[in-house]
Chains A and B, each alone.
Chain A
């Protein structure tokens, strides 16, 4: 794991990528810091941090696109997967490396509230709680990016898909608010989702019986719930959308609240996507 970690970290600094990411991120934070805290005179550093969360959508894909896609392209995955390393060690090593790059940015940012403190009273707990949330949010995004990168051979494809995924999760709040919350819409919505999942399954496994069976069972299940207890569907789409919306969990940090449930949520996202990436690597054996 350490070998992978060192290799990844070095590769970010032998190419421009690491420097560009850190510099660009710091510039964006710096501009917001200057505007919110210095010009407008707010003492709350969490405002600055909340303002810059949108930049993940742009910067994280650049950082994560090469992680696995490059290995797949260069066939170096063959070296890694035939070495005595476990898939878990490879994935975790890579994640830690990319998280370290991101954390360098956070580490510099940690000093900003201290700078502010020279000029007046700063709510420190709120500022550092938001930075903690910010790191976790970043970790979650990086894990999703790593997962998407493992699915493809092309860095460009990885970057574009990651970008749109993030964009989609960022807009999720807004979309959720305009979707009707009655149970019939929810039933139709989930039926469509189920069909899409079955189609994906079919294209991945080329097994008609399994995908049709899963589709039928799921559809019957949905129908039964819909007729027996339709209230379960009330507002379910919004709930699901909110659950997927990674960024909306950050709201509480904006109001200087250390929201443990958000932290747990982010950690679950990280663990889930690392797990999925490991499965993608393991699945290669079965292709």
Chain B
């Protein structure tokens, strides 16, 4: 449905989007993930035709955004970072106006507005002025605006910002509901959100694609650390002695005990090894009962940090990436660039901020 090829966007010397390519199939929910200033909003703005790319192409349903922007805009509903609302209008007036500019059929307009207000739960505030609404309601009016006319493609830039937890769940439900009939792209820097609603996750950092995977694969492929947390009852020396005899354990970290006579430990081994059984029997022989045992899996959050950490890449254990050649390449590239640009980095970031204001 959407095909993005070698997308580049430069602001002066600063590259906001750097050779980004991906495709989104019909009915898919794609999550854009990245730290602030990673180029998420810029990419979305380019897809919606709000700004142009420096290089590369974007096609939606085979129509090029650059060649026929108006055709593409008909197929897209867009909720930008700041919901574009007119504070002096009531919600109904506003949605009416949006329906008009999106050329919604006159006959079905009233019904559609009512339906959309119902599904975004803004019917109770339909006659209030937008400037009197709370942030959460404003966000939902913005969302209602994006789905007006039921476009094939819905692009949401951080749709749940400013909502309370209950509303966040409601909006996620709504997005799931929408994804049945629409293709959805959403951006976020909240991991749970992306893993809750998206089929595919794309992690972008400094305008580059770092990872493109299903959320489940992410945590199984990258989440393994080989470590585990242990809670063992017994004598300290005996336990440590028993553990040290297991050869595959690479290091043991002892934590402050919370209860007298119970040891809290973190045990590490190689990422691909499984030492749980061995540890169990060792403790068994030492007559030191294991009270708790928990494998340490990186949460999506940690993976996110791990993948996007600029300076931390050197410490990153790249073994896990070996089977994904392109990924490690992307990271290496990033890394090389980091080293080169380290001195310029601050300067560029400042420029980035000033540019972000312009968007």
Name A residues whose Cβ lies closer than 8 Å to a Cβ of B. Answer: 2-4, 6-7, 10-11, 14-15, 74-86, 206, 284-287
Contacts and interface: CB of A to CB of B under 8 A. Distances in A.
A12 to B, nearest CB: 11
Contacts of B48: 82
Contacts of B326: none
Contacts of A286: 51-52
B88 A79 contact: no
B137 interface: no
Contacts of A83: 73, 98, 101-102
Interface string B54-88: 00000000000000001001101010101011111
Contacts of B93: 10
Interface string B89-131: 1000100011011110000000000000000000000000000
Nearest to B51: A285
B358 interface: yes
14 contacts: A6-B97, A10-B93, A75-B82, A76-B85, A78-B80, A82-B49, A82-B73, A82-B78, A83-B73, A84-B70, A84-B73, A84-B101, A285-B50, A285-B52
Contact of A74 (B12, B78, B85, B103): B85
Contacts of B78: 78, 82
Contacts of A74: 84-87
Nearest to B73: A84
Interface in B236-288: none
B139 interface: no
Contacts of B97: 3, 6-7
Contacts of A84: 70, 73-74, 101-103
Nearest to B81: A75
B98 A79 contact: yes
Nearest to B96: A3
A14 B93 CA distance: 12
Contacts of B51: 284-287
Q: What 7 pairs across the A-B complex have the smallest Cβ distances?
A: A3-B100, A79-B84, A76-B84, A83-B101, A82-B48, A84-B74, A285-B52
A86 to B, nearest CB: 6
Given A79-B145, A84-B74, A285-B50, A3 B86 contact: no
